Amino acid sequence: MYTPPVKTGGLYLKHTMGKLVAVLIDGGHLRVVAKRASKTYDPSFIEQFSRQCLDTTPEELQRILYYDCPPFAGTAKLPVSGTPHTFICSSQWLDDLASRDLFAVRKGVLKFRGFIPKKTPVPGNLPLTDDDFKPLFEQKGVDMRIGLDIANYAQNRSIHRIILVSNDTDCIPALKLARISGLQTVLICLPGQKAHRELAAHADFIRKVQWP
């Protein structure tokens, strides 16, 4: 017997046995924790990890949104010698990830903020060299894109539940909006990590996952 779709918030949700969900992954956060755990961080790992975030019995995946910045490409002077150094990196792995089933990649911008000492305090008994410093980069635009996508889901209600992989409190206003709009929110707790107290306060569920 035909069962008509249910109209919710102006759009139609098909009948499912469980909750229709979207997984939103802050790539910078996931990468740092995964590499600390000696994991190979590549598209295959990210895809496998995203499946670990699902409670497969009651949840049906709509889409995985992955947020990250392409590697910095440019030239900067080294801090001691002043020699020009060119950063050469490839973002092909992001294109590979975007081509996978149900994946969408949202790209921010990686800004070069200069060089900082590898160790502090800086040793004062030996002359410093370029090898004593490392580049400092800052992600720009990632948090904004996460917030916009959560707000969009909150407005059109095309899913039932948002699963968020992040530890950034800048996501709190968007999580509040999602809950006010009737969406359920799940905060993923990575292996060996604790959910941020303020983020946890605005999540309906805290879900601990294991590495794939």
Q: Hey, what domains does the chain have and what are their CATH numbers?
A: 6-70+88-108+141-208 (3.40.50.1010)
Q: What is the per-residue pLDDT across 147-165, written as a single tens digit (0 to 9) for each?
A: 999 999 999 999 999 999 9
In the prediction, which pLDDT does 2 show? 28
Query: What gap in Å lies between CA 11 and CA 15, rounded to an integer?
Result: 13
Which tokens go with 205? 């569920």
pLDDT along the chain (212 residues), means of 10: 36 56 96 95 96 88 94 87 86 94 92 87 82 87 91 93 94 94 96 90 94 92
In the prediction, which pLDDT does 17 show? 54
Structural contact between residues 206 and 195, judged by C-beta atoms closer than 8 angstroms:
yes
In the prediction, which pLDDT does 73 show? 79
**Percent of the chain's residues with pLDDT above 90:** 60
pTM comes to 0.81
Structural contact between residues 104 and 153, judged by C-beta atoms closer than 8 angstroms:
no
